[in-house]
Amino acid sequence: MNTLEQQGFEIVPNCLQPSDVDALTVALDHSSLHRSRAGIRNVLQLEAVRSLALDLLLLNFARTALGSKALPFRATLFDKSSDSNWLVVWHQDTALPLRERRDATGWGPWSVKEGVICAHAPADALEQVLAIRIHLDDSSTENGPLRVLPGTHKSGVLSDDAIHDLSLKALEVICEVPSGGILLMKPLLVHASSKVLQSKRRRVLHIEYCSRASFPGGLELPVAC
């Protein structure tokens, strides 16, 4: 995990067998959850996704990075293709889902996304989070892979101007990950993705874990257990 701590991300190929990827893909394709142009939110509700998120295969990665009590609290399917194509500018992931809204220092602005209350969180909370991105398709330079600025997760929550300045100075890394591989990522790592250049689909199951379920002020994440 030294790479993760120093760089803010780490690629681990060949974690899931092709049969596991196929089964997960079928479960997601047949889900009754609302599907947007970009994919599906709240897929931790699906038994197949929940079982995978709580499997020791992924829990061991999360608990090595975050501690022995780490649990998943959110999962999202990103589904990018030539028919559903978009550009993601340089940014950090700073919004967290919460069970209810409470006024607490450093949290906000607030929003509701598909019935889930969310707030932008302070750096000390986001430092307790790890995303595990499971690649259902090969991610290459041709289908809008994740691009990252290594080490930027150590700079706290950045303004849009600061992120823009970093993107002009820092050397980006393109994260090419084979199907069945995973990418571990700190949410404060500055990242982006390009549009798909060819007709190659790129589906990523993005599962987020946290070292703790509650924060000062009575704020609670909707952790799975």
- Sheet of 88-91, strand order: 88-91, 191-193, 146-148, 173-175
Confidence (pLDDT) at 1: 54
Q: Tokens 């949290």 appear where?
A: 107
Confidence (pLDDT) at 196: 78
Confidence of residue 85 (pLDDT cuts 50, 70, 90): low
State mean pLDDT over 7-36.
Answer: 95
**Cα 204–Cα 221–Cα 5 angle in degrees, nearest 5:** 60
Residue 62 clears pLDDT 80, i.e. is over it: yes
Q: Give the other-Cβ count within 10 Å of 51's Cβ.
A: 11
Q: Give the other-Cβ count within 10 Å of 103's Cβ.
A: 10
Backbone angles phi, psi at 51, to 5 degrees: -65, -40
pTM for the whole structure? 0.95
Confidence (pLDDT) at 56: 96
Confidence (pLDDT) at 108: 95
State mean pLDDT over 169-192.
Answer: 97
Confidence (pLDDT) at 201: 84
All structural domains of the chain, each given as residue ranges with its CATH number in brackets, are 2-209 (2.60.120.620)
